[in-house]
Amino acid sequence: MNLIKIAEEAFATGVDVPEFNSGDTVSVSYKIKEGNKERIQIFRGVVIQIKGSGLTKTFTIRKMSGNVGVERIIPLFSPFIEKIEVNKRGRVRRARIFYLRGLTGKKARIKERRF
């Protein structure tokens, strides 16, 4: 009887999480509370790292907003996530692609992974 597994199942949010890796472009529908209103905002960008395991697993998404790079660290099993959608599978050679921060324009593109 593994107590950690039982605790993880009790706190499971029920949102099905697709399989994705760093280099993939994903859209995360995230619930945002403003006062007493609640709306859904879609954050679309490239996954630059996946960190942790189990319930504490997080992933970092980077997108370009105008000319500024915006990164967001999102817990994978957050209750505020409505859905996660994989838009494009990227082919990268490493698990943490922080070198993307220093690249701009066409150099910042990631090749698509073919199956």
- Could you read off the pLDDT of 67-90 as tens digits, one per residue? 899 999 999 888 899 999 999 999
Size of the chain in residues: 115
Report the C-alpha gap between 110 and 115 in whole angstroms.
Answer: 16
Query: What confidence category does residue 55 fall into, taking pLDDT thresholds of 50, 70 and 90?
Result: confident
pLDDT at 25: 95
The residues near 40 (Cβ < 8 Å, ≥ 6 apart) are: 29, 30, 31, 32, 82
Looking at per-residue confidence, does 42 or 53 come out higher? 42
Q: pTM value?
A: 0.82
Residue where the block lists tokens 């994989």: 86
The average pLDDT across 21-29 equals 94
Q: Mean of the pLDDT values across residues 54-61?
A: 90
Q: Each residue of 91-100: pLDDT tens digit?
A: 999 999 999 9
Query: What is the structure's pLDDT at 13?
Result: 60
Per-residue confidence (pLDDT) for residue 26, from 0 to 100: 95
| 34: pLDDT strictly greater than 70 | yes
Third-level CATH fold of 3-98: SH3 type barrels. (2.30.30)
